[in-house]
Structures are given as C-alpha cells and as structure tokens.
A and B are shown apart, each in its own frame.
Chain A
Amino acid sequence: EAQVTQNPRYLITVTGKKLTVTCSQNMNHEYMSWYRQDPGLGLRQIYYSMNVEVTDKGDVPEGYKVSRKEKRNFPLILESPSPNQTSLYFCASSLNPLDGYTFGSGTRLTVV
C-alpha cells in the first residue's frame, strides 16, 4: 500500500531531551515536507526537500533540523525541544507538489 509512515504517533518528552520523528514513504517521491498544526493557526511548513541532500526552510524552521540522506526517509530532529514545540506534526510526500501532497497520520508531540 502506498503510504507515508510517521513514527511515533504519540510522544511525551521533557524539555531539552533530543528527539527524532521518523518519516518514510514507499512511493519513490522526490518531494517531502514537514508541517506543524496548531489550533487556530492551521498547518505551517517547517522544512521541505526537493531531492536527496536538498532541503530548504519553510515558514517556521527555528528549533528544528531535517536530513534527506535517502529518497524514502525524511526525519525531523528536535535537538533541544521546548514546550512551544508541543504540536501535531505531519510529514508529507509528493511526486510533484503541483499535484498535492500525500500526508502521514501525524505525530502528537507534547514537551513538558
């Protein structure tokens, strides 16, 4: 089944403890992207990648890192999480962003 897989689905962590949210797609898509969703703010793009080793900042990249060492994987790294990064995170991929993205099921992150 063609899909974008994020792990974990739920995560509670403490301030300052490094964490990684994994994202993998099995559709051979070139484009991948990370978003955060907050009440009243909609979704905001954190980082996106147009190909292996090519990444660019979205609207809200501060406090996040990404890497794209292989086409299928696009992990989101929080080196020192803070409570304001508590949010619902989505990974998405696309063969051509002009056709829209396929989204993962989301990761609910709580930083205490």
Chain B
Amino acid sequence: AQTVTQSQPEMSVQEAETVTLSCTYDTSESDYYLFWYKQPPSRQMILVIRQEAYKQQNATENRFSVNFQKAAKSFSLKISDSQLGDAAMYFCAYEDTGNQFYFGTGTSLTVIP
C-alpha cells in the first residue's frame, strides 16, 4: 500500500498571511494523482485542489496553490491571504491508477484573527 505522510499535526496562521502545509508520499508508480481535501468542523469533506503527476505545472485554485516536487515525492499546499473560513483539517490524498485512494493523517489549521 502507498503511504501518505503529513508531518504537521497542527499549524496556525495569522489572518491575511500565507501558510504552507506539507505532504510527502511513497510510491513506485510514475502515473498517479494527488489531492488536498479540507474538512471544516461541519465534517464535510471538500476538494480543494488536485494535481496530475504527469503535469509539471503546479496547480492553482484562487488562493490555494501546490508545490509539486515529483522526484522528492512532495506535494505541499500553500494558502495565501488566509481567511477565518480556511480553519479546518486538511488532508493530503494519493490516488493510484487503479482508483485506490490513500489519505494522510491530516493537519489541523487554525487561523488567528
């Protein structure tokens, strides 16, 4: 089974500042997909951003962007201009070509007003 590691159980950021959440994964495959999901206190899982491994260009969705380093097997999430609504648990996820998903253990993000 693949492993996904989120080494930061908790992070905090000042409102309007930038924060980066780290994620590394272990795989021997060359083709796969990576995701960041957000889980606010409502417990709903919300897709934030996705990255295809064969694309070198880093994905961006408004204030959210990723730094994808394929050789290092690293997939960090950068949140710019942090807002109070960004406070949530963030999960990094890996999907193989057989549609199996593997999630990290999550990073709890606190946004300080």
Contact = CB atoms under 8 A, between A and B. Distances in A.
Interface stretch (B11-19, B65-73, B78-86, B96-104): B96-104
A106 B42 CA distance: 10
Given A41-B105, A90-B45, A105-B43, A100 B99 contact: no
Interface residues of A, number: 26
A58 B100 contact: yes
A50 B101 CA distance: 13
A42 B104 contact: yes
B95 A105 contact: no
B106 A42 contact: yes
Contact of A33 (B1, B37, B42, B101): B101
Main secondary structure of the interface of A (DSSP, over half): strand
Given A100-B47, A103-B44, A103-B45, A44 B35 contact: no
A44 B95 contact: no
A98 to B, nearest CB: 5
Given A105-B43, A106-B43, A98 B103 contact: no
Nearest to B106: A42
A45 B45 contact: no
Contact of A48 (B35, B42, B99, B106): B99
Interface in A96-112: 97-103, 105-106
A45 B100 contact: yes
Contacts of A74: none
Most buried by B among A31, A43, A58: A43
B104 A48 contact: no
Contacts of A70: none
Contacts of A99: 50
The 5 closest A-B pairs by CB, nearest first: A103-B45, A42-B103, A43-B103, A100-B47, A42-B105
Interface of B: 1, 4, 6, 33, 35, 37, 42-47, 50, 52, 91, 93, 95, 98-106
